[in-house]
Homo-oligomer: A and B are copies of this chain.
Amino acid sequence: MILRDPVHGLVSFETPELSIVVELLQCPELQRLRRIRQLGLTSFAYPGADHTRFAHALGSAHVMTRFIARLQGLHDALPYWQRITTERTRDAVAAALLHDIGHGPFSHLFEEALPAGPKHEVWTTRIILDPSSSVHRTLVRHDPALPQRVAQLILGDHPLQFLAHTVSGMFDVDRCDYLLRDAHATGVSYGSFDLDWLLRSLRLGFAESTDASPPLAIDGDKGLPAIESFVLARLFMFQQVYFHKASRAAEWMLSRILIRLRQLLLDGDRTEAVPAALRSLLCTEEAALGDYLKLDDGALWGGIAQWAEHKDAILSDLCRRLYNRNLFKTYELFGPGRTAEAYETLLHIARDLAQQKGLDPEMYVGLDHATDVPFEDEKDSLRVIFPNGLSQAPADVSFVLRRLRGEKLERIRLIYPPEIRNELLGKASEQCL
């Protein structure tokens, strides 16, 4: 198989050990990812952000073939049992392709709006291990133990530490693909980094003992700026895209819709157009796998389109707004006045104003906290090594990373309906907020 990808250019899976990619791509569980946007509601803020989980899965598998090629160029120094065999290649590429297969509609957003339900990682494991899934049957055809092995690998569990970290680590195929892909689709160039150079700088570090496998490492002489810019690319994408105020507001609205829908369902309302899995998740916090696999963005948008006619005024209003992109507004504090108390004050003011307009304060006003730690020096996830045998943590040798280690990025925003905008800004100004 050979195809064109807008991010990586020419992508091919042609050798025998990569044939598993072609087979897995024929599974309905993977084709479902074509109907799930990678960035949820972000296209409300960035009109090009319509790329799908499917393209990301393919891209991750492609990046894995590049990691493998590089690691094979390095593995001659390893004991035999630590080398990248054709079986390990197959396993790693399958894991890369399947690592996100459990995502629901709108990706992360869906699980965040249903905090009590299973996370996407759980669904991923279920899909791979369930004997009825097409993915499972495809894996088993290669090796009965393969589903279990791939599921473990996705969780970062593998005898070869460095291989596990290519699937799940500080510098893994998931991040490599999504940063470049999200940057390409949004037009936010800051998300780019030099993948060629990073891969070329990849090394194997020093094993802690003779029966341990070595960690992933970067050549300190050539690779440091590459890994720095990789970390910074991720930081920028969080600041610019993943924490964008319009998509955060849309996401908050979606979560209110699901909360309201749940209330109605628990109250015995016979709302229509609720996909079985969603109904079950809302009412019982669980769902059958077969039902879950019928969920996709279109199914949820179809529901929202119908609930916009619902007799419950709150549900229908929220659905109508979201469907037609009439988004709530946000208000953020900067400078010395940016305190938790100030936000609480803002929240009270806004909720009062909403109530005065006849809007349910809980469903129309809230605080949105977005946080991320752009760079944590996870133990042994990636080392930096030097010609003379020195091995260091990235933060110990990098000018930039040393200054970012463990630092938390945090954005807090008041979310409120446009109807109260003028009064809110007036009162905020009065109180010097």
Interface residues of chain A, those whose CB is within 8 Å of chain B, are 2-7, 9-10, 12, 26, 28, 31, 34-35, 37, 43, 45-48, 50-52, 54-55, 58, 184-190, 192, 194, 196-197, 200, 220, 222, 224-225, 228-229, 232, 235-236, 239-240, 294, 296-299, 301-302, 305, 323-326, 334-335, 386, 388, 390, 392, 396-397, 399-400, 403-404, 407, 409, 428-429
Contacts and interface: CB of A to CB of B under 8 A. Distances in A.
A235 B55 contact: no
Nearest to A199: B10
Contact of A46 (B3, B187, B200, B400): B3
Contact of A390 (B9, B224, B296, B335): B335
In this complex, the member of A6, A189, A235 whose beta carbon has the largest number of chain B beta carbons within 10 angstroms is A6
A228 B229 CA distance: 12
Given A51-B48, A235-B399, A187 B298 contact: no
Nearest to A184: B6
Contacts of A37: 50
A55 B51 contact: no
Contacts of A5: 47-48, 187
Contacts of A6: 46, 48, 184-187
Contacts of A51: 48, 50
A407 B403 contact: yes
Contacts of A186: 4, 6
Contacts of A54: 47
Contact of A47 (B55, B200, B232): B55
Contacts of A10: 196-197, 200
B55 A48 contact: yes
A185 B335 CA distance: 40
B225 A334 contact: no
A94 B172 CA distance: 38
Contacts of A236: 225, 228-229
B35 A334 contact: no
A262 B429 CA distance: 62
Among A4, A7, A46, A55, which residue has the most Cβ atoms of chain B within 10 A?
A4
Contact of A232 (B50, B232, B326): B232
A323 B31 contact: yes
A190 B3 CA distance: 15
A104 to B, nearest CB: 15
A190 B194 contact: yes
Contacts of A58: 47
Nearest to A232: B232
A236 B226 CA distance: 9
Nearest to A409: B399
B409 A196 contact: no
A399 B4 contact: no
B192 A189 contact: yes
Nearest to A49: B6
